């Protein structure tokens, strides 16, 4: 099976500083991969490089064997955000529909096929009961389901989700992770999910990509989230502790902000 995405000796510079470099990374089709790492390490930049929103300064990147670019219908993207403005007056179903043909110019005729597709995908994420309500009125968990439908509706084979679990309570984090796992396995969709905490998603993911210290590491959760591995990646002492309930805690992460300040 060919790789869903591949970085080769890739590097990104933003505003004169190297975010990460020497990245060799391959993700197989249908894998559920968590992208982890401290704040500011370049997790979102990794997704943006895959979307063609941020250019590489070195190396190459491909998605499904093709060079990356904007407007790729194979890729559904869910950017990092807090919430929709509570006063935003557009229905959930309209937002999903924009994922299907929102980028097209000109007038559109009513299309039963498009309506069916939208209804089908809204059903898949379980958002049917509130599809006619304004997006701003929905709860955080409901909004994430609608956004997942929007990302999937054009037939995307890869989902890039930037912190979709942020600002959700623990129950919703579990429910959304489970939903994403289900979509990943039933539809064969490759999923990259950026998270700052691995614990809520640990039972659902196949592999982790860890971004820290200007480098990127990929592997099984047990291989990567270990004291020796992360210490090497960070280039500084880091300790991984396992709590009695199985939760992983990474302690001793140095502050990337002060590190970059020293770079200048």
Partner 1 sequence: MFGGLLQFHFMQNAYLAGTLVALLAGAAGYFVVLRGQTFAAHMLSQVGFPGAAAAVLAHVSPVLGLIAFCVAAALGIGWIGRDLEPGHRAESAAVGSILAFSLGLGLLFFRLYTGSAQAMYAFLFGSILGIADRDVLLTLAVAVAALVVLAWAGRPLVFASVDPNVAEARGVPVRLLSVGFLVVLALSVAITVQIVGTLLIFALLVAPGAAALQLTARPLVGLVLSVALALVVTWLGLALAYFTDFPVGFFITTLAFGAYLAVRGLKAVNAWA
User: Which residues form the interface with partner 1 (CB under 8 A)?
Assistant: 51, 53, 70-71, 75, 77-79, 81, 84-85, 88-91, 94-95, 98-99, 101-108, 133-135, 150-151
Helices (H), 6-156: 43-51, 92-101, 112-124, 140-152
User: 47 or 212, CB closer to partner 1?
Assistant: 47
With beta carbons less than 8 A apart as the criterion, state whether 147 and 179 touch. Answer: no
User: 150 or 172, CB closer to partner 1?
Assistant: 150
With beta carbons less than 8 A apart as the criterion, state whether 157 and 64 touch. Answer: yes
Q: In the bound complex, what is the minimum distance in angstroms from residue 98's beta carbon to partner 1?
A: 5
Q: N- to C-terminal Cα distance for the chain?
A: 44
User: 163 or 214, CB closer to partner 1?
Assistant: 163
Identify which of 219, 201, 200 has the alpha carbon closest to the alpha carbon of residue 209.
219
Two tokens at 160? Answer: 């890039």
Q: In the bound complex, what is the minimum distance in angstroms from residue 89's beta carbon to partner 1?
A: 4
User: 50 or 205, CB closer to partner 1?
Assistant: 50
With beta carbons less than 8 A apart as the criterion, state whether 45 and 19 touch. Answer: yes
Two tokens at 251? Answer: 């302690």
User: 191 or 225, CB closer to partner 1?
Assistant: 191
With beta carbons less than 8 A apart as the criterion, state whether 27 and 50 touch. Answer: no
User: 158 or 198, CB closer to partner 1?
Assistant: 158
Identify which of 236, 242, 241, 240 has the alpha carbon closest to the alpha carbon of residue 256.
236
User: 54 or 225, CB closer to partner 1?
Assistant: 54
Q: In the bound complex, what is the minimum distance in angstroms from residue 68's beta carbon to partner 1?
A: 11
Who contacts 114 (Cβ-Cβ below 8 Å, separation ≥6)? 97, 100, 101
Q: In the bound complex, what is the minimum distance in angstroms from residue 164's beta carbon to partner 1?
A: 13
Identify which of 11, 29, 21, 44 has the alpha carbon closest to the alpha carbon of residue 160.
44
Q: In the bound complex, what is the minimum distance in angstroms from residue 87's beta carbon to partner 1?
A: 9
Two tokens at 193? Answer: 């999910």
Q: In the bound complex, what is the minimum distance in angstroms from residue 200's beta carbon to partner 1?
A: 24
**How open is the CA angle 66-69-74, to the nearest 5 degrees?**
65
Quickly tell me which residue has 């991969």 as its tokens.
Answer: 33
Q: In the bound complex, what is the minimum distance in angstroms from residue 117's beta carbon to partner 1?
A: 16
């Amino acid at each position: 099976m060919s790789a869903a995405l591949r970085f080769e000796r890739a590097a990104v510079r933003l505003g004169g500083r190297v975010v990460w470099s020497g990245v060799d990374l391959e993700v197989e089709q249908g894998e559920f991969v968590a992208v982890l790492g401290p704040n500011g390490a370049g997790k979102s930049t990794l997704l943006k490089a895959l979307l063609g929103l941020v250019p590489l300064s070195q190396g190459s990147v491909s998605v499904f064997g093709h060079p990356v670019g904007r407007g790729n219908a194979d890729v559904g993207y869910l950017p990092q955000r807090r919430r929709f403005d509570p006063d935003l007056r557009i229905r959930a179903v309209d937002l999903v529909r924009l994922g299907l043909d929102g980028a097209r110019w000109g007038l559109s005729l009513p299309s039963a096929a498009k309506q069916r597709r939208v209804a089908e995908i809204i059903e898949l994420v379980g958002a049917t009961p509130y599809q006619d309500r304004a997006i701003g009125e929905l709860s955080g968990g409901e909004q994430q389901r609608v956004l997942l439908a929007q990302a999937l509706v054009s037939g995307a084979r890869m989902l890039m989700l930037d912190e979709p679990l942020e600002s959700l309570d623990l129950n919703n984090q579990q429910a959304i992770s489970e939903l994403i796992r289900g979509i990943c396995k039933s539809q064969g969709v490759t999923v990259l999910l950026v998270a700052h905490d691995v614990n809520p998603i640990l039972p659902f993911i196949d592999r982790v990509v860890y971004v820290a210290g200007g480098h990127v590491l990929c592997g099984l959760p047990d291989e990567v989230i270990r004291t020796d591995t992360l210490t090497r990646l960070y280039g500084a002492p880091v300790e991984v502790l396992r709590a009695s309930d199985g939760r992983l805690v990474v302690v001793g992460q140095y502050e990337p902000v002060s590190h970059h300040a020293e770079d200048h």
